[in-house]
Structure 1
Amino acid sequence: MLKKPKANLKKTTKYILIQLSYFAVLFLFSYQDSNAQKKIKVSKKLQITKINECSYIHISYLNLKNGASISCNGFIYINNNEAYVFDTPANDEATSDLINWLQKDIKVKIKGVIFNHFHKDCLEGMDVFKKNNIPCIASKKTANYMRLGQYNLPDQVFENNLNLTLGNKNIYNAYFGEAHTKDNIVSYFPEEQLIYGGCMIKSLKASKGNLSDANVAEWSKTVTMIKEAYPKIEIVIPGHGDFGNSDLLDYTISLFKIED
């Protein structure tokens, strides 16, 4: 009579251990997922997606003349209590929210904002950065288009390449050729194997989008050169839509590929 309860106790203990193991694994995967990609709602106008400890996407909305609004991505790179921003949010209110969040909540110094190209979804909030004495940086090509569009001019201008450092990390900004616009650049972060491509890079299943200033004939060739220059890329951030891996480069190349 004493052995039967002992057997039941062993079964009960085994069952509990299995359940505990299951929940431990479930918690671990849940923790890793939330830690790898954390959604932060800064305000009604601005959301942040945290990719890793250094890399963040800022998401805002551009209001179109037809009354519609479009979600726009920008990028933030943080290291050693300093940050660079890549493209402004698409309106002044969201830009103010971003600057306040970085300076007051994250408590980092913003060293500058770099523009991917000259369209509104990249530089609409430039005046807010200027009012906060944050350097605005653009390529010479982008600065020329900004002048034609009667925007204020950037504080710093580079030719085709600009190498930056943020603590012990490197940032390479480079012009590879015409695509979405004649001036679009790409920003590469080697320690993370990450590219911020802006509107030149399309999210999976996206349409060709705005082609008003595009060079469709060169688009695929330009992105092919980017892929060849950075063959180990793991994270690719487009100007609109979800980020992903190098499949976004392949999709963009195929979307604009012109058959011989």
Structure 2
Amino acid sequence: MTHKCLSLYARGKFLLRHLLFLGLMLAANQQMAARDTLFINADLQLLLIAEGLYIHISWLENETYGRFSSNGIVFIREGKALVVDTPMNNSLIEDLVTYIGEELHAEVTLAVPGHFHEDCLGGLPYLHSVGAKSIAGKKTVAICKEKGLVVPQRSFGKKKKLKFGDSRLELRYFGGGHAPDNIVVWFPEQKVLFGGCLIRSLTTNGLGNTADAVMEEWGPTVAKIQSALPEIATVIPGHGPIGDETMLQHTIDLTTKK
């Protein structure tokens, strides 16, 4: 075998080992995701991303988008649970609350809808009916009153720090984007940002529903988040897979895409 052939053979073995390693890593990640995913029913699941911090993923089908998923947060501390954005109807939120109570041994006491759309507050009537309190941005409360929607009980302006059990989180309004009232939720201890529909998943090449969008503010709003929270490690969009801080720049790029 010539020197050139030996070189190609060695490179081939290296590439094969590299691909095998990547395959093993992918399989391990898939197994971890499967182990950390709690399947409540065919349309609802929880994904554990940090101690006591879950993404709730709900599925719904409509004529416009077909079957699609929406993300929200369940944050559990000391037997209490906080829900950021609800599934889109009372049936799904009832299933979620029941599971949290029976399997995770926590009571849902607070809801935070991120903006006025159905994929944020569709389940709020049920949460109010079981005694949970709610808080949203002032713009969300005003829009809900104007449109005759369920109205969150409390409101805040641009920033609200909350102590929840032994942990803290921040509700932040940086400006319009997907909707005029969209807020984000920051978990500083976990370095997790719930961006909601303001932030687009890396798997998407468009901005989704822009019926209520404030297009001229969207990019600058996300840029403000980049400046204010440079330590972000994990980002959760309103729809699609979670990612890292590069999702912010991805969203900005989409707002300038021709």
User: Which of the five TM-score ranges fits, normalised by the shorter chain?
Assistant: 0.7 to 0.9
| CA-to-aligned-CA distance 1:145-204 (integer Å, 9 cap, x gap) | 111221121122222222111222111001000100110001000000000010000000
Write out aligned runs for 1:1-260 (5 A). 30=28, 34=32, 38-66=36-64, 68-206=66-204, 207-257=206-256
Pick which of 250-259 and 84-93 moved more: 250-259
CA deviation profile, 1:110-133 (whole Å, cap 9, x unmatched): 220001000011111111101111
Deviant stretches of 4+, over 4 Å = 29-33
Decide which structure has the larger Cα Rg and report it.
1
1:70-109, Cα deviation, whole Å (9 max, x unpaired): 2111111122222211001112211001101111210112
How far is the alpha carbon of 1:67 from its aligned partner? 7.5
Q: How many matched pairs?
A: 233
The answer for unaligned runs of 5 or more in structure 2 is: 1-23
1:32, 1:77 → 2: CA distance? Answer: 23
Q: Distance in 2 between matches of 1:205 and 1:59?
A: 16
Check 1:43–1:79 CA distance in 2 against 1; reply closer, same or farther (3 A cut). Answer: same
Change (3 A) 1:241 1:31: closer
**Quick one: distance in 2 between partners of 1:119 and 1:247?**
25
TM-score (norm 1): 0.83
- CA RMSD between the two structures: 2.3
Matched AA of 1:45:
D
* Seq. identity, %: 35
Q: CA deviation at 1:258?
A: 7.0
SS at match of 2:50: coil
Structure 1: gaps of 5 or more residues: 1-25
User: 1:70 is paired with a residue of what secondary structure?
Assistant: strand
Q: CA deviation at 1:43?
A: 1.4
Cα offsets for 1:41-74 (capped at 9, x unmatched): 1012211111122211111124334472321111
How many Å separate the matches in 1 of 2:128 and 2:45? 22
- Does the CA contact (< 8 Å) of 1:175 and 1:185 recur in 2? yes
